[in-house]
Structure 1
Amino acid sequence: MTTESAPEKVEIASKKEGSLRTPWGRHALVSMLFFVLGAEMFVLSPLIPMMASEFGVTTPVAAMSVAAFALTYATTSPLVGAFSDGLTRKAAILGGAVVFVCGEVLCTAAPQFALLITGRVLAGAGGAMMGPAVWSYVTETAAPAERGRAVSRVAAFFAAGQILGVPAGAIVADTASWRWVFAAVAFAASVVILLISLKLNNEARIPPRDRRKWRVIVGSLGLWRNSNFALVVSANFFAQAARYATYTFAGALFLYRFGLSTTQLGLVGAAVGAGSMIGALLGGYLVDRFHRSGRSQFGLNVGYGMMMALGLFAATSSEVVWVSVLGWVATFAAGSSYVSTSQEYLTATMGDLRAPAVSWNNSALYAGTASGTFLLGMTELGSTSFTVLAVSFGVVAGLLSGLTMLGHRAAPPRTGTALNSRIKSH
């Protein structure tokens, strides 16, 4: 039985074709799903006050529409990611995207808040299936020297969805109904599904067919024995709580503190998305540069974590609107760089367990969103305790990256092929 890892298989196939070029066009195609996902996730913040009013619930309860998606993604991602690794990346991407669209349609028509939450759960399950498959496909098909940039461009598409989708969604919600926002997301995702089904062919990776399902789960759980993996995933939990969970309340904060309209909140979301895109692209460039110089990329994440903490302090405590906006922009620029740097590490080092590793990481990201939203919702909006809690999330993320950097220097991480040797022997 061969023991070569997925990246090695792709590289061998590429050499046979006489090329090691990164297929940026196909990467852009699958990344369009992240564009849609980014628009959908961020547009909820300015819509939460409107949904709370229509359904007759409080703002923290309405914010659970964000937590429902995140919690579902967090709890289903490891299991779905492990099993879908036996599919082609295209099949996993399309299957998850279809489930995601079904959830968006249900949100569009939901007559009660409970059904809206059900739609968010369904959308989260779909995201849990397609997300790791997109990350894995991009890493497996990128040229080794360009993996950092390839991963960061997926994150940039996510941010672009925020830049363009959030203000557009806010205008639609302000002039028509928030329900049309979910309908537009479902339509856009359906178009991307059609394009992927027609254009994404000739996949080099051959899905493993000889793995017993329970051993796939055992191998996935075994990743936690790798201390570097455990630290990276744990750090991402706090990084996501810092930026996404806190941003869930940004719309309400700007409304109550500065009296911004829904349309103005959309423009703020676009500015924050621009910061996120810049952070993602710059982060990918810096990762590739650090690799070439032999330096640890986790030194970058220490700085990003501290930058998130400072940005959140300004965003949540300032009484000056432009200072608050700049705080959010800085937070998301640093947070996007932080997460894309971590994703590059996991996809590049976990070999055959790449998809389960990304699934665990995505689970931690969305668990951070759900947990952070819940904890912040227990504090008074805009209070000192709210700010302290938000800032502490960024500080912990930076500290955990410092520990990862020290451990990475002391003991280089094992590859996914080594971790997966037991699975491959069965």
Structure 2
Amino acid sequence: MRNYTALFFLIMFMIGTDTFLISPLLPTLQMQFGVSTDIAGWMLGAYTLGSAVFALIAGPLSDGWNRRTVLLCGLVGFSVSTILCGFAASFWTMCLFRLLAGVSAAFTAPQVWASIPAVMPAARISKTMGIAFTGLAASQALGVPIGSWLATAHWSVPFWTIGAASLLLTGFAFYLLPDIKPILRKGERRSILHRYVPLLTSGKARSGFLAYLLLHLGSGTAFAFAGKWMADRFGLPIGQIGTVMMFLGFGTLLGSTLSAYAVRKLGHASAVAAGMTLLIALYAVMPHLTRLSAVTVIYLIIFATLGIIFPIVMGALTSLNASIRGTISSLANATMNGANTLGAWIAGLLYVNFGGYSSIGIFSAVCLALSLGMFLFGGLMERNAARTEQESASAS
């Protein structure tokens, strides 16, 4: 069972590292390919675009396939496309390979969450889920900085390293995972669109996912050009940018650890409200700071707060309909990556045309304010709090 836990942790670690790697490399890749700042963000956006679009079909579609096969094919595609990124000869070939990596990740990550209940004992499912999520946080704390340090030798080295390590991980998964075939009832409907109908017809679901979109749009826009801003403002080389990024990952780890404690002390709605109010203030203030140490501390607080909020929000979304949690997870992944894609494009326009990073900070603060309003008045948080109270009462 420990081998399964390690496998799922490492898969999410690799996917997370590859997802966030472009941000600290952005100044170097921009010079390498000779592209303007306003379109450079598409090297980040191409990955999230591929993941966002294909996540909409990958999750529901794979419910009818052998999950082991889907996961292995996704990992192979992810490995090869990431290695190819290191051989990119132009901006557009880099965008193409990043798009393919995102598509592959869209087929891989959902299989992790869906496979855990199939291969783990019931008593260890929740713990294994948490460890897999920690892999994403660890990718920011360790994977991205390590990738940045490797890039000091050459910008292509991180891509080759992640791709090669993922290929080794594919072999590990091939020998370890059993077949995980779907269990379909006779006459069961398999339409992909049919699985989304309960969400499309629910007002709480619509407002909840729109709020989730705005949350990621605000945070994703601020993150997309964080490396570029630190290089311009403080003259940091790529290795030092990676060191600052390490604090972002540690913040996420800290926040995810404190999330359950925050819920016990404040409740779901109050924890989200307090956290997002703090984020609004920090995003607005941070671009005006003149000391790198202060910026690093603020980033640590921001990502710790996001680490607290995201598990609460995901718990609220997956509680909307227990029978389609896989589809909800896929839609949440698509929403997150769609927001990050849009955020990378908006960040480039704002940075070049509207006052640099300060305009990005204002935009992020506005998105967070709108998201908070929709979470509180759309009823999603109250629904999740009521469900938790009922479960606690029945358990006692």
TM (norm. structure 2) is 0.87
2:95, 2:296 → 1: CA distance? Answer: 29
After superposition, where does 1:233-248 map in structure 2 within 5 Å?
233-248=209-224
Matched, 1:380 2:351: yes
Cα gap change, 1:142 to 1:246, in 2 (>3 Å): farther
1:349 deviation in Å? 5.2
Q: Deviation per CA, 1:199-226, whole angstroms, max 9, x where unpaired?
A: 22375x7442756776232222432223
Q: Report the AA paired with residue 374 of structure 2.
A: L
Q: Does 1:264 align with 2:264?
A: no
Contact 2:53 2:334 (C-alpha < 8 Å) held by counterparts: yes
Residues 306, 148 of structure 1: alpha-carbon distance in 2 compared, 3 angstrom cutoff? farther
How far off is 1:123 after superposition? 0.7
Q: Deviations over 1:17-42 (max 9, x none)?
A: xxxxxx56523321211111222222
The alpha-carbon distance between structure 1 residues 36 and 146, as it changes in their structure 2 partners (threshold 3 A), is same
Give me the whole-angstrom Cα distance separating, in 2, the residues matched to 1:311 and 1:148.
32
Instruction: Give the Cα separation in 2 of the matches to 1:366 and 1:225.
Output: 23
Q: Which of 314-323 and 58-67 deviates more? A: 314-323
Partners of 2:283 and 2:362 within 8 A in 1: no
Residues 55, 331 of structure 2: 8 Å contact kept: yes
User: Deviations for 1:96-151, whole angstroms, at most 9, x for unmatched residues?
Assistant: 22221222122121112111111111111111111222223346677878876554
1:123 is matched with which residue: 101, 104, 107? 101
Gapped regions of structure 1 (runs ≥ 5):
1-22, 414-426
Counterpart CA distance in 2 for 1:398 and 1:99 is 37
Structure 2: any 5+ residue segments left out of the alignment? 388-396
The residue number in structure 1 matching 2:274 is 303
Structure 1 residues 400-419: aligned runs within 5 Å: 400-405=374-379, 408-409=382-383
CA offsets, 1:153-204, max 9 Å, x none?
33321121122222221122112x111111111112112222222222375x
> Which residue among 159, 165, 181 is the counterpart of 1:182?
159
CA contact 1:66–1:248 (8 Å) conserved in 2: yes
Q: Does 1:319 align with 2:290?
A: yes
Deviation at 1:230, TM superposition (A): 2.4
Distance 1:144 1:228, change over 3 A: farther
Whole-angstrom CA distance in 2 between matches of 1:317 and 1:147: 44
- Partner letter of residue 337 of structure 2? Y
1:279 aligns with 2:250: no
Deviations 1:66-103 (A, max 9, x none): 11111121111111211111124333322222221222
Percent of pairs identical after alignment?
A: 22
Does 1:101 pair with 2:75?
A: no
Match status 1:191 vs 2:165: no
What is the distance in 2 between the residues matched to 1:302 and 1:348?
Answer: 19
Please, which moves more after superposition, 339-348 or 99-108? Answer: 339-348
CA deviations on 1:237-296 (whole Å, 9 max, x unpaired) are: 122222233111011111111111111101001111100111122225555x58xxxx96
- Give how far 1:298 is off: 4.0
Distance in 2 separating the partners of 1:124 and 1:284:
31
Residue in structure 2 matched with residue 251 of structure 1 by the alignment: 227
Report the equivalent of 2:28.
50
Is the CA contact 1:74–1:362 (under 8 Å) kept in the aligned structure 2? yes
The alpha carbon displacement at 1:364 in A equals 0.5
State whether residues 298 and 404 of structure 1, in contact with CA within 8 Å, keep that contact through their aligned partners in structure 2. no
Matched to 2:365, the amino acid is V
